[in-house]
Amino acid sequence: MEWRAEGKHDMKRVLSVLDLVCLGIGMMLGAGVFVTTGFVASTMAGPAVILSYAVAGISALLSSLCYSEFAVRMPLVGGAYTYVNAVFGEYLAWVTVANLILEYILANAAAIRGFAPYFSMLVNQPADKFITPWQGYNLDWWAFGLSLAITILLTLGTKESSRFNIIVTLAHVVLVVFIIIAGLVKSKPSNTQPFFPFEIRGVFNGAALVFFSYIGFDSVACSAEEVRNPKRDLPLGILGALRTASL
């Protein structure tokens, strides 16, 4: 079954597989990895947090396979809304996309809200150094400024914002690799005992939370009308991003 866009103006098809992979990685390798890992390890799964990530990764893989199939059949903007609308109708599609929008709002807010406290600690200042109290509210001007800057960047064009994302993503990957190597050098086998301090239930409870770290692979499908060869590039981009993030 072939699908095509109904708009009067076609979008510029400028994105490659590399652009899509970096887009997915940039969405996944964020605050979820750095924040949820420690929290889950200390309160839910202990050293078995690695199994929590395995369970969450398998769930994300199955979801990504579904997205890849739909993206090939319906290479249109809209992602999950388009897919659910084609199968179940507009009402369920609206409910689905409403939940996804809420998910992205919360995820993006959590990520950008964490910048100021982390930057404060990086320069040896109190975590609330750049937070401004005002009539019972805490104003985060860093979050506001970064949101505005990213919005302006997106308006410059798809290819321009994609190039910026590739640079940031590559730097992010290098940072993650450095953290992994540094952690292995300082690791102690005794820290893995007991391996299941919260029993098996803790592993699955942790998996439900660390799945937050994989949010983003579905965003690749929303770029369908800006991809050079969507039938080939979209599956490669979705699965490639998830595989790289899982490693």
How deeply is 87 buried, as exposed, middle or buried, from its count of CB atoms within 10 A (0-12, 13-18, 19+)? exposed
Interatomic CA distance for residues 98 and 80, integer angstroms: 11
Q: What is the pLDDT along the chain (247 residues), one digit of tens a residue?
A: 444 544 445 667 778 888 888 888 877 776 667 777 878 888 888 889 889 988 988 888 888 888 778 877 777 766 778 888 888 888 898 898 888 888 778 777 777 887 888 888 888 888 888 888 888 888 888 888 888 888 888 888 777 888 888 888 888 888 888 888 888 888 888 888 888 888 888 899 988 888 877 777 777 777 777 788 877 888 888 888 777 766 6
Token couple for 7: 């708009």
Select from 210, 199, 236 the least CA-distant residue to 57.
210
The residue extents of the domains of the chain are 17-188+217-246
ω into residue 75 within 30 of 0, thus cis?
Answer: no
Interatomic CA distance for residues 67 and 20, integer angstroms: 14
How deeply is 25 buried, as exposed, middle or buried, from its count of CB atoms within 10 A (0-12, 13-18, 19+)? buried
* Amino acid 159: pLDDT: 78
Q: How far is CA 37 from CA 4, 74, 103, 175, in A?
A: 41, 35, 19, 16
Q: Tokens 């078995």, residue?
A: 48
* Amino acid 5: pLDDT: 47
* Amino acid 153: pLDDT: 84
* Amino acid 78: pLDDT: 67
- Please state at what angle helix 49-73 crosses helix 80-88, rounded to 10 degrees: 70
* Amino acid 204: pLDDT: 92
How deeply is 218 buried, as exposed, middle or buried, from its count of CB atoms within 10 A (0-12, 13-18, 19+)? buried
Q: How many residues does the chain have?
A: 247
DSSP class of residue 79 equals T
pTM as predicted: 0.71
Q: Are 244 and 170 in contact (CB under 8 A)?
A: no
